[in-house]
Structures are given as structure tokens and as C-alpha cells.
């Protein structure tokens, strides 16, 4: 393993409170553009903390394990360590990053159900003892390289209505659950519990209800064959706002239902540990991406604005995360239909064909809020020579 950090230049400065008004945000942006230039991804620690404590308040019986794939930058990881958060990792490299940030091995779950033998050995060497699986062959690998590990069975559940469906690639059929848990025990592993993921940006509470009901049945079946499960992992997928006009209370409403369903379905398990894997919910609202217009053309009866960030950089979520963002400009005035494109020579690098912005000029600033997740995390390091935005943590 190397000590290489996640890609992207990281700048840190003393934490300040995030401005709450558009005027406050735009005043801060003007100052930062002069100081740091663009593209610039601003990450606010105060918002990271706000999201963490909102989750703990609304789901007090659920321990959050931050899914670091959503944004693994070192300052973010260190901040969540300081808050007492645990971590969901998917590779040996991610294990290395969270350990370097100060996380304890007991606060890490290796939640990729398909792991290489090399990564399993790395996990064992660093005392990572909680791993997920969803198939029989994976159990043999874990038993060989991480003997006596605590294993959590990930099951396939409905992802209806979720923006990104995560049961297409992962999850055992619930009908196989008891067999797989028994197999784990036979191989000398500790069958610890059940996990699921309802899909990213899930607003359909029925996905969670059905998944919890299925999990409760598996708990009961396991108990009937002498397997005492101790952990339930309800995954991630908790939604955030991307547009100012969206309902900001969706998570609160879902959390209220989740509390009731967890109590109803698992009231007989007094020592049950319940965990979750929020990623976007923790870091998404904390990010503001600041860009500038570097080119302008008139075609197809509208303006095309070419900015210095695109889908190969911090707008990677347009492709990989099916995400739609709300674009704002520091210049105000009557809005006109326009297209926003990135700086590369690839025609794929079109961020949006149908935006409405005031008529802009070269160097005018365009910014996007709620873009702290799956932006720089999945950006290409230097396609066409264009690097992702600098990351400024405040």
C-alpha cells in the first residue's frame, strides 16, 4: 500500500460557519475567487457537523458509518473522526485513508461484498474484523484470509424510485440467507447480522419498510437454527436537496417511519446493534463548487457557456450519479435558456442543455450548492490536462 491521498489539491483554513443567505454565500464566493481562483470546491465543516448531528437526532438508535466513497478527502475524514463517527470502506486503500485520519479498526466496516484476496489480507493485518458478503465463494475467501471474522450478509432488496439502484450488482436472494449464514458458521466465521441498501437518493419509504420486514424474517429464521444475529445494517441512500425549491423535510419524515418500524419489527432483540452507511447525506450539502466561464458561443438559438469544470472533473456526478444540479451565477438579471459545457474537447462534456441564467461573459462565476458528494470523488485526475477543482475546507 502507498500513502497516496485521494486525488485533488486540498487546502485547509480555520472553520467558519456556513453563510445561510444567498447574499452571504455570494459574498464569500467573491472573496474566495480572488484568493484561490477557480475551479474551487468549498467544503464547510459546520455543515458536515450539522448533517451528522441531524442524523443522530432523528435516528438516535442507529450508529452512522460514513460511506467514504462519497468524498474521501483527508480533512473530511479527520472531521468525522473528531465527531466520533465510524466508517464504511470498500477497499484496502480506503481502509488506509481512514486509519491515517485517526479512525479505530473497531469503527470500520469493510462493506464491499466482493473483495480481492490482497485487500482481505490487508484488512486482517490491520484488525478490520467486520465484513459484508453476499455469496458462498466470498465466504471461503474471507475464512482463508480473515479467519474468525464477523460477517454480515447483504441481501437484495427493492430499489424502486431510487436515483441509483444498488441491488443490480449486489445482494443475496433472501431465500438463501439461512443457508449462507449457516455456511459462514461452518467455516469458522461469526455470522453477525444482515445488511441491505435501498438505493441512492431513495425517497420511497416502502423500500426501507420491505427491507426491514425481510430482514426481520431472516433474523427469526436464523434464530430457529441456532444462529444469534446481533447486527442490522440499514445501508445508506438517505436523500438530500439539490434544488432550493425541493422539500427539505423528506429525511425527517423517513426517519420517523424508520424509528417506528425498527421498534415494531425488532423489539424482541434487546441487544441488537443497528448501523447505517450514510454518504451523500453527510457530505453532499457541505459542498459548493465555484467555476468561471472561459468561453461563450451562440448556437442552436441559445448561448453556450463553456466553464472550467466539467463531467470529467467535479460534475462527474452527472454521468456516474445521475445527478441534476441547480446552477446559479453571481451576475443577476433576466434569465435566458442556455447550455453549460465543460472545458475538454470531448462532446460528451456537456453538463446541461437546458439551463436558465442571465447572459454571462467571460470570467463570470457560476456556482452549484449541495455538490459535496460524488463530485471530486469520481473525477478523472487530468483528462485533457484539466485537473479537478482545488478543495478548500473551512
Confidence at residue 11, expressed as pLDDT on a 0 to 100 scale: 52
Q: Cα(287)–Cα(306) distance, rounded to whole angstroms?
A: 22
Selection from 260, 201, 206, 205 nearest residue 236 by Cα:
201
What does each C-alpha distance from 83 to 76, 107, 153, 156, 221 come to in angstroms? 11, 12, 28, 32, 37
CA-to-CA separations, 231 to 126, 152, 179, 216, in angstroms, rounded: 22, 8, 18, 11
Q: Where in the chain is the domain with CATH 2.40.37.10?
A: 11-43+286-393
Q: Whose CA is closest to 213, among 266, 267, 154? A: 266
Which stretch of DSSP H or E encloses residue 122?
helix 117-125
Place of cell 459535496: 372
Domain 11-43+286-393, what architecture? Beta Barrel (2.40)
| Contact status, residue 45 vs residue 394, Cβ threshold 8 Å | yes
pLDDT for 168 equals 55
Tell me what pLDDT residue 321 has: 80
CATH 3.10.20.440 fits 47-283, yes or no: no
Catalytic residues: 345
Quick: pLDDT tens for 84-107.
999 999 999 999 999 999 999 999
**What is the residue whose three cell numbers read 470502506?**
89
Could you read off the pLDDT tens digit of each residue along the chain, which spans 394 residues? Answer: 344 555 444 455 555 677 889 999 999 999 999 999 999 999 999 999 999 999 999 999 999 999 999 999 999 999 999 999 999 999 999 999 999 999 999 999 999 999 999 999 999 999 999 999 999 999 999 999 999 999 999 999 865 444 444 455 689 999 999 999 999 999 999 999 999 999 888 888 999 999 999 999 999 999 999 999 999 999 998 999 999 999 888 999 999 999 999 999 999 898 999 999 999 999 999 999 999 999 999 999 999 999 999 999 999 999 888 889 999 999 999 999 999 999 999 999 999 999 999 999 999 999 999 999 999 999 999 999 999 999 999 9
293's enclosing H/E stretch is: strand 287-299
pLDDT for the residue 152: 98
How far apart CA 196 and CA 286 sit, in angstroms, is: 26
Residue 78: helix, strand or coil by DSSP? helix
* Predicted pLDDT at 253: 93
250: its cell numbers:
423528506
Determine the longest span between alpha carbons in the chain, in angstroms: 70
User: Does residue 170 contact residue 135 with C-beta atoms inside 8 Å?
Assistant: no
| pLDDT for the residue 158 | 67
Every domain range in the chain assigned CATH 3.20.20.10? 47-283
What pLDDT is recorded for position 2? 40
Question: Which residue is listed with cell 453527510?
Answer: 282
pLDDT value of position 349: 97
- Tell me what pLDDT residue 19 has: 85
pLDDT at 248 (0 to 100): 86
Q: What is the pLDDT of residues 107-141, one digit of tens each?
A: 999 999 999 999 999 999 999 999 999 999 999 99
- Distance (Å, rounded) from C-alpha 2 to C-alpha 201? 33
Amino acid at each position: 500500500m502507498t500513502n497516496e491521498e485521494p486525488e485533488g489539491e486540498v487546502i485547509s483554513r480555520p472553520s467558519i460557519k456556513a453563510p445561510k443567505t444567498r447574499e452571504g454565500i455570494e459574498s464569500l464566493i467573491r472573496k474566495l475567487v480572488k484568493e484561490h481562483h477557480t475551479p474551487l470546491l468549498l467544503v464547510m465543516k459546520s455543515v458536515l457537523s450539522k448533517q451528522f448531528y441531524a442524523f443522530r437526532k432523528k435516528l438516535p438508535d442507529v450508529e452512522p458509518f460514513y460511506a467514504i466513497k462519497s468524498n474521501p478527502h483527508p480533512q473530511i475524514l479527520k472531521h468525522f473522526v473528531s465527531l466520533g463517527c465510524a466508517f464504511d470502506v470498500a477497499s484496502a486503500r480506503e481502509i488506509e485513508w481512514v486509519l491515517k485520519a485517526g479512525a479505530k479498526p473497531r469503527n470500520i466496516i469493510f462493506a464491499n461484498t466482493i473483495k480481492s484476496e490482497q485487500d482481505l489480507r490487508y484488512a486482517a493485518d490491520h484488525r478490520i474484523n467486520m465484513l459484508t458478503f453476499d455469496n458462498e465463494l466470498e465466504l471461503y475467501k474471507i475464512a482463508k484470509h480473515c479467519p474468525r471474522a464477523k460477517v454480515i450478509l447483504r441481501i437484495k432488496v427493492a430499489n424502486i424510485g431510487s436515483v441509483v439502484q444498488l441491488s443490480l450488482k449486489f445482494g443475496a436472494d433472501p431465500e438463501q440467507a439461512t443457508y449462507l449464514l449457516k455456511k459462514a458458521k461452518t467455516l469458522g466465521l461469526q455470522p453477525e447480522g444482515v445488511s441491505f441498501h435501498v438505493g441512492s437518493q431513495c425517497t420511497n419509504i416502502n423500500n426501507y419498510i420491505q427491507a426491514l420486514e425481510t430482514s426481520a424474517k431472516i433474523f427469526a429464521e436464523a434464530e430457529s437454527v441456532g444462529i444469534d444475529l446481533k447486527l442490522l445494517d440499514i445501508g445508506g441512500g438517505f436523500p438530500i436537496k439539490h434544488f432550493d425549491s425541493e422539500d427539505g423535510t423528506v429525511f425527517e419524515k423517513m426517519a420517523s417511519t424508520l424509528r417506528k418500524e425498527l421498534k415494531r419489527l425488532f423489539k424482541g432483540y434487546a441487544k441488537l446493534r443497528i448501523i447505517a452507511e450514510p454518504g451523500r447525506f453527510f457530505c453532499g450539502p457541505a459542498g459548493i463548487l465555484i467555476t468561471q466561464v472561459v468561453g461563450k458561443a451562440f448556437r442552436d438559438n441559445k448561448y453556450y457557456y463553456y466553464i472550467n469544470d466539467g463531467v470529467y472533473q467535479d460534475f462527474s456526478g452527472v454521468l456516474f450519479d445521475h445527478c441534476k444540479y441547480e446552477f446559479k451565477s453571481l451576475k443577476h438579471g433576466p434569465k435566458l435558456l442556455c447550455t453549460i459545457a465543460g472545458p475538454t474537447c470531448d462532446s460528451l462534456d456537456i453538463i446541461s442543455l437546458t439551463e436558465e441564467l442571465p447572459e454571462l461573459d467571460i470570467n463570470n462565476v457560476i456556482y452549484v450548492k449541495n455538490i459535496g458528494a460524488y463530485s471530486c470523488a469520481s473525477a478523472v485526475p487530468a483528462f485533457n490536462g484539466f485537473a479537478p477543482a482545488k478543495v478548500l475546507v473551512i
